[in-house]
Structure 1
Amino acid sequence: MSVAEPRRIVLFRHAKADWPQVADHERPLADRGRTEAAEAGRRLTDTGIAFDLALCSTAVRTRETWKLAVQEFPQRPKTVYEERIYEASPGELIALLNETPDDVRNVLMIGHNPGIQGLAEVLAGSGEDEARERMTRRGFPAAAFAVLSFGSPWKSLEPGAAELRDYWAPAE
């Protein structure tokens, strides 16, 4: 891969979760979340990005979101279920992305707020004005995702190093 070929990171918040009497990590998706996860999968496919790697939190709601979204993909990327994504800060998520092998070009991270939204905001040093405005206005509701690109090795990913290319959230 040449440096001129941008790497892409898609930050994807899990779909709408239910609130049963279980530990937070064990919360499943709500009915609406199952519908939104599949819709987000279709929208992710529409980006045309061929993901090399999916990093997914081990929480039930993120695993369910990923299982439904990836069914819409033409090809399933390698998936790593990573417990460090759960309750991670933007800095911890950057450290995790810094560990990505150099032969990986496009990464999809399925996680939680406030970490996923914070990471999108911290990484996006520049970007498409329309996407930035939508993300600022909508925040990062369940099943939303942001597409960022950067042209450096993973180990050099840091705040402000990426460009916000796209943003999508389900209809309110």
Structure 2
Amino acid sequence: MSVDTPRRIVLFRHAKADWPQTSDHERPLADRGRTDAPVAGRRLAASGVSLDLALCSTAARTRETWKLAVQELPERPKTVYEERLYEASLGELIAVVNETPDTVNGLLLIGHNPGMHALADALSGEVEGDALARMSRSGFPTSAFAVVTFNGSWKSVEHGVGTLTDFWTPHD
């Protein structure tokens, strides 16, 4: 693959989680989360974004979100459970993205806020349509996802490199 190949990053926040008496890392999805995750998967499938690799936080709520959402996709991308996505800072998220092999054109990160929102905001030097206005208005609620496109190597991903082409929330 050429490094000039258009690439996409989908930043997907986990679905609504429950608050049982358990560690934050082990929190399961709430009923609303179990309803919203497949809806997000169907919307992602309808967007036509092709995914080669999914990096998913190891938290229970992100794993469960992905398990429900991926069933709605026409093709299942390779999935890697990545501990560094749990409680990741913006810099840590960019470092993970920079490690993506250039054979990957479509990357999905399933993670947490504030990281997903911060990364979408940081990477988006340009915007198509009203995606940024919608993201700014709603924040980055559970089950939301943003799509950022850019040209170049994953190693070149940094602030302002991409275009925010889509932002979706289940309760817009």
**Do both proteins adopt the same fold according to a TM-score greater than 0.5, normalized to the shorter chain?**
yes
- The letter for the 2-side match of 1:49 is V
Letter in 2 for 1:116: M
Partner of 2:143: 143
Residue 47 of structure 1 aligns with an amino acid whose one-letter code is S
Structure 2 CA distance for partners of 1:83 and 1:15, relative to 1, 3 Å: same
SS in structure 2 of the partner of residue 159 of structure 1: coil
**Number of the residue aligned with 2:23:** 23
What do residues 16-56 of structure 1 show as CA deviations (whole Å, max 9, x unaligned)? 00000000000000000001000000001011111000000
Give the equivalent residue in structure 2 for 1:170: 170
Q: Tell me the amino acid that sits aligned with residue 49 of structure 2.
A: I
- 1:121-168 deviation line (CA, Å, top 9, x unaligned): 111011114001100101100000000000010001001111100000
Q: Which residue of 2 aligns with 1:34?
A: 34
Aligned twin of 2:104: 104
Give yes or no for contact 2:4–2:153 (8 Å, CA) kept in 1: no
Aligned length: 172
CA–CA distance in structure 2, aligned partners of residues 87 and 143 of structure 1: 17
Report the equivalent of 2:72: 72
Correspondence for 1:159: 159
Q: Which runs of 5+ in 2 are unaligned?
A: none
How far apart are the structure 1 equivalents of 2:170 and 2:90? 23
CA contact (8 A) 2:5 2:152 kept: no
Specify the alignment match of 2:113 in structure 1.
Answer: 113
Between the aligned partners of 2:171 and 2:122, the Cα distance in structure 1 is 25
Structure 1 equivalent of residue 47 of structure 2? 47
- Which range moves more in the overlay, 3-12 or 41-50? 3-12
